[in-house]
């Protein structure tokens, strides 16, 4: 089984709610996603996706993903996609760093490897644990009352976990957190995600002002050192996200006792293989996880479902059904949530069938 061709598609995904706003007034109104189709010499096809949250969130951007795939792709021709470590070694020899470039190729190889065995990808990743995975809903930054109304709306859709986009003016952020917590019941989970938007003095003011409320604080500041200032002054559980970009970063967080939960994004870590490594290390170290990606549509959502579902249930803090935020589907049978939860498909590989007629012409073919 050898990789014969890699096709690359650019897919625009409009946001159903119009726009998505996070710290420092950054926003997107559509996603520029990249789909990868890898075909092998024995007729199998696997799919991968990478979709940065615009060019100013993580060090990743859509055109860079495509340029990088053109650079790395030839190194994978002739490679057996089931040799997943070898796939990564070949990619590392062809291009240093750039984890987001490698993520879609890694995802398509995982799809192929599981399809070739006739098993769901979750089986290859350790085995689906439990019935389904709890999802969180991200709440775009806006006025406090609008965010509380959005939470109330998504609660009616079945979500029980909410991630508020804060990281703005600390006084308004305090109001945002209070307004949203007031519409939630005990047992419903609230995360205030600042996406690095506060300086330590601002974060300290916010956590002191909401000390009486049950919530998690996510990535308050830009660096581990700044986040530790907040950690030492705060008794809320802490989630770290943007700075957890590999094994070294995870171990630094663990040694410092800096987080109770980490957020693992597949493209941030360079694909399912490296994300699985960090995930398994988190299980050994006793750290719970949100398992997701930087964004994406049906392919990304399927990959998240398999990786999250194969993570021990006790360590699953939450995951995301990104394809429910966008107004375009590329799959005939897209993965969908039920009552705020999603399960991984039991069909082979990612378990989705792509409607290739909906994709248009590939923008790049490596053969």
Cβ-proximal residues to 179 (8 Å cutoff; 6+ apart), any chain: 144, 145, 147, 148
Strands ordered across the beta sheet of 45-50: 45-50, 30-40, 3-14, 364-366
How far apart (Å, rounded) are the C-alpha atoms in residues 339 and 201? 39
Question: Between 241 and 245, whose beta carbon lies closer to Mg ion?
Answer: 241
3-state helix, strand, coil in the chain (%, to 5): 40, 20, 40
How far apart (Å, rounded) are the C-alpha atoms in residues 275 and 264? 7
How far apart (Å, rounded) are the C-alpha atoms in residues 347 and 121? 9
Residue nearest to Mg ion (CB): 241
User: Which residues have a catalytic role annotated?
Assistant: 165, 265
Question: Between 40 and 320, whose beta carbon lies closer to Mg ion?
Answer: 320
Site string for Mg ion, 296-335 (x = CB under 5 A): ----------------------------------------
Bridge partners of 144, per DSSP, are none
Our finding on whether 241 is near Mg ion (CB under 5 A) is yes
60-80 burial, b for 16+ CB within 10 Å, e for fewer? bbbebbbebbbebbebbeebb
How far apart (Å, rounded) are the C-alpha atoms in residues 279 and 277? 5
Question: Between 113 and 253, whose beta carbon lies closer to Mg ion?
Answer: 253
Site string for Mg ion, 182-221 (x = CB under 5 A): -----------x----------------------------
How many residues touch Mg ion under the rule CB under 5 A: the total is 2
Question: Between 103 and 318, whose beta carbon lies closer to Mg ion?
Answer: 318
Cβ-proximal residues to 264 (8 Å cutoff; 6+ apart), any chain: 244, 275, 278, 279, 282, 289, 290, 291, 292
Question: Between 296 and 343, whose beta carbon lies closer to Mg ion?
Answer: 296
Sites of contact with Mg ion (CB under 5 A):
193, 241
């Amino acid at each position: 089984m050898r990789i014969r061709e890699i096709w690359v598609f650019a897919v625009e995904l409009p946001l159903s709610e119009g726009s998505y706003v996070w710290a420092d007034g950054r926003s997107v109104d559509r996603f520029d996603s990249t789909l990868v189709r890898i075909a092998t010499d024995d007729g199998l096809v696997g799919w991968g996706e990478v979709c940065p949250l615009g060019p100013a969130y993580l060090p990743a951007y859509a055109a860079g993903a495509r340029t990088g795939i053109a650079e790395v792709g030839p190194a994978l021709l002739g490679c057996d996609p089931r040799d997943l470590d070898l796939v990564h070694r070949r990619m590392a020899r062809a291009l240093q760093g750039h984890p987001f470039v490698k993520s879609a190729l890694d995802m398509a190889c995982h799809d192929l490897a599981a399809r070739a065995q006739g098993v769901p990808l979750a089986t290859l990743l350790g085995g689906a644990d439990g019935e389904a995975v709890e999802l969180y809903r991200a709440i775009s930054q806006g006025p406090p009352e609008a965010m509380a109304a959005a939470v109330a709306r998504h609660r009616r859709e079945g979500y029980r976990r909410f991630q508020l986009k804060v990281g703005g003016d600390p006084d308004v952020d305090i109001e945002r957190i209070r307004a949203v917590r007031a519409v939630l019941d005990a047992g419903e989970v609230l995360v205030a995600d600042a996406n690095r938007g506060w300086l330590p003095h601002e974060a300290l003011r916010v956590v002191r002002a909401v000390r009486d409320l049950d919530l998690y604080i996510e990535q308050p500041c830009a660096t581990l050192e700044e986040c530790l200032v907040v950690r030492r002054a705060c008794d809320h559980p802490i989630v770290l996200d943007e700075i957890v970009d590999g094994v070294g970063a995870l171990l630094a967080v663990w040694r410092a006792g800096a987080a109770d939960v980490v957020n693992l994004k597949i493209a941030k870590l360079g694909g399912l293989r490296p994300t699985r490594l960090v995930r398994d290390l988190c299980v050994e170290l006793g750290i719970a996880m949100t398992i997701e990606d930087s964004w994406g549509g049906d392919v990304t959502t399927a990959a998240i479902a398999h990786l999250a579902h194969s993570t021990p249930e006790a360590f699953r803090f939450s995951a995301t059904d990104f394809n429910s935020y966008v107004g375009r589907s590329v799959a005939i049978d897209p993965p969908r949530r039920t009552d705020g939860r999603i399960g991984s498909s039991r069909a082979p590989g990612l378990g989705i069938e792509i409607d290739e007629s909906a994709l248009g012409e590939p923008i790049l073919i490596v053969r």
